[in-house]
Amino acid sequence: MLKEWLLNDGKLGDIRVEEKFVKIAETMETDQYVTMTILQMEKEFGDSEEAQEFIAEICKGQKGTPHPQAPTIKKARMYKVLKALLDERRRGSRGEASASVGGSIQDPAAKAAFAKTLASQTEKLEGMELVDRSTGKIVIPKPNKKPKPQTDDEKMVANFKALVTKLLD
């Protein structure tokens, strides 16, 4: 958009359409870890000298976490153990198209009308929490669903169910 702005003396009344084709070749490596106690590692890897050396090496590089149900038992302390290395290769292609329109509003009445339209759309976002401050997770608000109008039969069934529930309580 900057190029068009410079070429048109700052007037963005032009339309720009862009199309591109992208070839994709990705190689991803993923490490998968599991949390295990020393007792679980001994069962998994055995009790040979090599297994004991391997378990000691895993534990040496970590602090470990006390087991929530047995925090005082040393062999119940939990450690992260590499479970698998996954290699994933992806190949493909993707086509993209985009269009953009720009411009400027000169008329004060048109500016006010545009601002009013924009304000009505952005008021919904005002005061909306998009991130839960305690967990840091993104919160997606669910739209308010209007109840579907009930037919007379559906109202009768709903009233009957409410009456049965009331009588059973």
When comparing pLDDT for 43 and 99, which is higher? 43
Nearest-angstrom CA–CA distance, 124 and 121: 6
Determine phi and psi for 94, rounding to 5 degrees: -145, 135
Between 41 and 19, the more confident residue is 41
pLDDT value at position 42?
Answer: 95
- DSSP E strands: which ranges in 54-132? 78-101
State the residue range of the domain holding 82.
29-87
Of 10-19, 52-61, 114-123, 132-141, the poorest mean pLDDT is in 10-19
- Asked if the structure places residue 106 within a domain, the reply is no
User: Is 137 within the bounds of a domain?
Assistant: no
**Tally of domains in the chain:** 1
Please check whether residue 107 lies inside any domain of the structure.
Answer: no
Does 158 reside within a domain? no
